[in-house]
A and B are shown apart, each in its own frame.
Chain A
């Protein structure tokens, strides 16, 4: 296997005091090789976003170590581009200027950055909406603007936190396929955080299954499906087997999540 570009070593993160607090992530270890597509999957509230913020260098104060290209990360790393789970478009910029934002920071000329931004706007299916402002778009469209903005920066490592969550199943499949196309072409190292089984199997080389609170690595599944993964693969029995296998793990963790909530409620 190729050298790991991104490693997460024994990462533990607690919120609150030792007495009253939650351990969001515990002793979490995995790595992503160069050009590899890895998904992290787990039920709601298991610590996925916490992990995302730690890897992105936005959260300090944790135990363990995150490295990029062998260097310990402290603070946002220039090789990493992030797509956030929450709505993160700039409401005062229109679509094209939102997407061109990272290029603007690098001092790319206006004409060139608009042209490059337009390419990504088209890719996420928003051609014709360049001049619209986020307030005039649907939630799913805004999320696509955020995805395009991060892709426009062409980061070596792409970090995405449930980027397709607000999209319908059809758009999600199509956009997922497009993102993997780019990822394969640019050989981008990608870490996708998701709670969707099919999405994880469709896109990943490997899948890290998380346990529910504290978030630990339950299992790492290697997806041995050929690429590119067209419709024939999505409907194949192997695909179904992977989904079914993951579902067994995930159902248990999701149940624990629900039980924990019930416990608190009573």
Chain B
């Protein structure tokens, strides 16, 4: 059953593609709005060769990776800090929640003025967009740690550091990783979005250019590479989580 699931997913995807192809062929869907999947597939190879996709893919991935590292190193400790100090948690948690929901990408002109038109600005926007969910999920995971597990630690007279490493962190880990997945997704969306808006950098800029040339198949193919980057990050996170779980088991 488990091994059938990915096959089923793939078959569904292919079926959807074929259906779309059919609908476009009989003119139910206009080919000027949605390019036929066959053309998108053909464009994949073309843009790799003609539009420096590998370099762009690397750039966007590197920006997202850098943002992800910063999100991790800022978000998880911030979550711990909010968890540990009740008054700060009461004071700041609603603001962090509001921050998580804010469409920060719209403030890109401000970031441009502050940091210039460069990859740094793009990474900063990625961090700004992805940190809040990590903080929220870290606090949530820590707060959900069962009291009795903390009591076991207290009765064994764990130090603060041991309590963190041996009980709080492993207990909160699933929630922290949910936060990281969300944060990284937000981050990637915003990074590609800003690249698009300021016409600078990797895949986002390519999508912008291709769209301006009315190369619809190419545009969709470029979006396909964004999906690929997103999938790669998910797979990596999953591996890290599994490895950490084994390390703590």
Contact = CB atoms under 8 A, between A and B. Distances in A.
B155 A92 contact: no
B248 interface: yes
A93 interface: yes
Interface string B158-188: 1000100011001101000000000000000
Contacts of B170: 90, 92
Nearest to A159: B155
Contact of B154 (A58, A87, A133): A58
A48 B229 CA distance: 56
Contacts of B171: 92
B212 interface: no
A86 B156 CA distance: 17
A77 to B, nearest CB: 9
B86 interface: no
Contacts of B151: 53, 56, 58, 82, 84, 88
Contact of B158 (A58, A97, A105): A105
Nearest to B150: A58
Nearest to B167: A90
A102 B154 CA distance: 12
B231 interface: no
Bin the interface of chain A by size: 20 to 34
B157 interface: yes
A56 B152 CA distance: 10
B245 A76 contact: no
B152 A92 contact: no
A84 B171 CA distance: 18
A115 to B, nearest CB: 19
Given A81-B155, A93-B249, 16 more contacts: A56-B155, A58-B151, A58-B155, A80-B155, A84-B148, A84-B151, A84-B152, A88-B152, A90-B152, A92-B171, A92-B245, A92-B248, A94-B249, A102-B156, A105-B162, A133-B249
19 contacts: A56-B151, A57-B155, A76-B155, A76-B156, A78-B157, A82-B152, A84-B148, A84-B151, A84-B152, A87-B148, A88-B149, A88-B152, A92-B170, A92-B245, A92-B249, A93-B249, A94-B249, A105-B166, A153-B156
